[in-house]
Chains A and B, each alone.
Chain A
Amino acid sequence: MTQDRYNSSSIYNPFPMRVVAKREEAPGVRTLKLEFVNQEDHEFFTSNYRTGMFGLYGIFGEGESTFCVASPETRKDYIECTFRQSGRVTTTLAGVDPGDIVTFRGPYGNRFPIEKFEGKNLLFIAGGIALPPTRSVIWSCLDQRDKFRDVTIVYGARTVADLVYKHELDEWKRRDDVKLVLTVDPGGETPDWQDHVGFVPSVLEQVAPSPDNTIAVLCGPPIMIKFTLNALGKLGFSEADVYTTLENRMKCGVGKCGRCNVGSVYICKEGPVFTAAEVQAMPQHDL
């Protein structure tokens, strides 16, 4: 299916998407909810999208920017994406309103093999703006909750304000089939903050479930990943059971433009989802 579509029309010609909702998540961080303008585009997405994949979101005249699809594979009527306003494209995307048209190319890349997670305990670990990719997997699992055993979510941000998806955090907090652990960096707490204060790796060491029969999904900035992997190692997690995502600068999204490769790996094709073991095998300097 992917091949057919790619070969019959330019991979570079994006799908028009209508913005249907916009949410301010944290300072400079926004979520857009997009719906397909064309039915065949939607069908293509529906038949190809799996959690973990990413897309190129764009505005004609400004360009495209890469981020994950933050909505789960169990909800394919729309696409949600969450991004921080920083460059030219994200600045423009931050300014769109419901009714406006943006573009989407994708879904690209590999996915979290959640069928392999079935019957296991799940530990989700996310830092800051990296909750969106994690959240896609989380909902993909929670929407079929009975297939998995215990679900633990550890999410940390620099400050309370920087926590994204606050309404969903509340929802997860209320659920008794999810254990949610929130933390903010020291100094980032507000006076009424009830949860943890501390960096994710150290909080993790206090709250992590047993590594037995547990899959960990870890997303965050490079420095957090590095320390969290150490912590997971100490806790006894095998590198093969830890999944993470890598994000590099991308332009084409389809393994041609040569920008995203780390070693011989094209993040856009063979990623963005990797096991910790795969990440360790890459040239670390180029990450």
Chain B
Amino acid sequence: MTETFEPKIVAFVCTYCTYAGADLAGTSRMKYASNVRMVRLPCTGRISPMFILKALQKGADGVLVSGCHPGDCHFAQGNYHARRRWTVFRSLLAFTGIPEERIKFSWISAAEGAKFAELINSITDEIRALGPFEQYQELQKVIETQSTY
């Protein structure tokens, strides 16, 4: 890790709450780290675990998944479904050694521009401190880099 390491963070967010919250942070001219790339989805219920794995394969050092607070889902229940899936998938990732610190989940409402900005800053700092997560990407090359290949 060099001191210039800037983590790449991919965020999967619902359009009604977190994306809107991020917009609010913008209209309020709050400043936050530029490391996050947002992928806009209709609802957290749309977010499949494969998205997270693909982001890691693409070189994300951290992933954020965020949507509406419980009870506030535009689609009434999408975030409740999402929460269960994340609970399960998160434990699976942790069990396979993908550090929990790199996969963040949050509820950010359309009103929480400030929370969004703060969260992005804090997770960027945290993941920057953790350093790059190349181990996952490099799994692709395990076989051909073995001495026996």
**A–B: direct contact at CB < 8 Å:** no
